[in-house]
Structure 1
């Protein structure tokens, strides 16, 4: 049985149906991200788990206990907010100790746990400072320590990195993941940033319009998107209009070109589909026998450091491909004609 079980959750605010029949099972110690655009319902799901919103329908169970109607402080939940939510008139140590004090933990145990938490987040010598004396990243570490100090069963993180600059955000997400793995705490992380979700999570739930569009590992979400929305929202994608001609073999017709994927596609013959491919799957020049070969003209070259992103005009549409930067091989010039190869293994058929 899953440690955290969300079954048929619904939430409406008046006529606005925000979460629709949402189901998710999370194992003990698992790190799961809810990923999606603003307004997709991800924060509402998090708030229902935390007890800050009541579901219109459905149930929430933690460690075998139905907590659907329990108050937030009865669920053993740790919550970290986007805005830190530290008490400005309390020191760092007092902020971390706040939940312990409310819970009636004695002074010695509180002092020991505060010291343990500050050491865990690397701020062991800053306990006497006030929040305004800390950087944004340090304040978010304190908020994390405060959430963990009460030893919650589940940790909830509501876009905790969105207010930080890119360098601090990348560093802190590694620290959060390392702490979560060290403690083995079951965690739900809400974000609209696909890089955060893919780099931190055991599994990702991609949400749209109040529903879970796909649930899977980061590898599965990126490489085998189940729907057009997931494919377009996670990463950069090339899509080509096509028609499915043989579902059993995954044969599609793309213009005058027939592509055989040698895998079953769950749609009827004659169905209009999209043939999708990530930029890193396409290559310049001739590929392997059987690859789809296209010709085009380079319209843009973006130097991104380790990656060079190339856009080519194919006539009816454009295609983007990524190639590694190699110092001995300069990228093609804008305006030059090129051959582009598309291997079957990198193609995904999107029918939905």
Structure 2
């Protein structure tokens, strides 16, 4: 039995159904991210788990008990918000210990727990400061410590890093994951940032229109997308429409290209199937093991630091490809003729 079991949740606001038949079993100590664009229902699911919204239908069970009838303060769930939501009139120690004080925990025990939490988040000397004296990253650490201080059964994180600059976000997400692993706390993390979700999660739930389009490990979500939406939302890619030539041999064709995918296909010959290539699977020039070589024209070059992304056109089809930045090998210029190559084994069959 799952530690946290979300079963068949439905939620509408007026005529707008924002969550549709959403189910998700989560194991104890698992870190699961809800990933999707604005309006896909991910925050509504989180708020229903927290108790801030009531589902129209469905159940939310923690250790076998349905918590839907319980108020938020009866569920023993910790929540960290996007806006930090720290009390400006309380010190860092006062903020961290607030939930313990409300729960009537003795003063000495509260002080010990606050000291433990401040040590955990790497701010042991800042208990006497006020929120306005902290950076954004430090404030979010304090918000995390406040949520963890009462020893909740489940931790909910609602886009906690979106207000921070890029470098702080990368550092802090790693710290959150490390703390979560150390405590072994069951966690749901809501984000619209695919890199965040893929980098720190045990599993990712890609949401679209109130439903879970796909649930899987980061590796599976990226490399084996179940729907065109997942394929397009998670990572960059070149979408291609192909026709199955020989399903047993895994052969498809598109625009005169014949591709041997190296695996059997579960559809009949003549079926039109969506396929795709990730930019890292396409090479500039010929390369051993990449049997498909196409003459192409560079159309756009995007410098991304260590990686250069090139959009090349071949046979009326645009291909994205990534190549490492090398000071001794400048990229082609737009309009320059090039060759591109890839292997049929790297082609993603969407939903296949």
Structure 2 length-normalised TM: 0.96
2:51 aligns with 51
Matches within 5 A, 1:11-90: 11-90=11-90
2:240 aligns with 240
Please give the alpha-carbon distance, in whole angstroms, between the structure 2 residues aligned to 1:351 and 1:22: 20
CA contact (8 A) 1:4 1:28 kept: yes
Please give the alpha-carbon distance, in whole angstroms, between the structure 2 residues aligned to 1:155 and 1:344: 43
1:328 aligns with 328
CA contact (8 A) 1:12 1:18 kept: yes
1:299 aligns with 299
Please give the alpha-carbon distance, in whole angstroms, between the structure 2 residues aligned to 1:106 and 1:125: 22
Please give the alpha-carbon distance, in whole angstroms, between the structure 1 residues aligned to 2:230 and 2:96: 38
Matches within 5 A, 1:102-113: 102-113=102-113
Please give the alpha-carbon distance, in whole angstroms, between the structure 2 residues aligned to 1:288 and 1:167: 37
Please give the alpha-carbon distance, in whole angstroms, between the structure 1 residues aligned to 2:180 and 2:169: 16
Paired residue secondary structure (1:170): helix
Please give the alpha-carbon distance, in whole angstroms, between the structure 2 residues aligned to 1:290 and 1:82: 45
Matches within 5 A, 1:122-271: 122-271=122-271
Paired residue secondary structure (1:140): helix
Paired residue secondary structure (1:137): helix
CA contact (8 A) 2:97 2:146 kept: yes
Paired residue secondary structure (1:219): helix
Paired residue secondary structure (2:231): helix
CA contact (8 A) 2:224 2:350 kept: no
Paired residue secondary structure (1:162): coil
Please give the alpha-carbon distance, in whole angstroms, between the structure 1 residues aligned to 2:257 and 2:250: 14
- 1:288, distance to aligned residue in structure 2 (A): 3.9
2:310 aligns with 310
Aligned CA-pair RMSD = 1.5
Please give the alpha-carbon distance, in whole angstroms, between the structure 1 residues aligned to 2:190 and 2:125: 30
Paired residue secondary structure (2:32): strand
Paired residue secondary structure (1:298): strand
- Deviation per residue, 1:232-279 (Å, 9 max, x gap): 000100111212233344322212222222323344433322220100
Pick which of 139-148 and 322-331 moved more.
322-331
Paired residue secondary structure (1:328): coil
Q: Cα–Cα, structure 1 residues 267 and 52, in superposed 2: closer, same or farther, change >3 Å?
A: farther
Please give the alpha-carbon distance, in whole angstroms, between the structure 1 residues aligned to 2:281 and 2:91: 52
Please give the alpha-carbon distance, in whole angstroms, between the structure 1 residues aligned to 2:35 and 2:80: 17
Structure 1 length-normalised TM: 0.96
Which consecutive residues of structure 2, in runs of 5 or more, have no partner in the other structure?
A: none
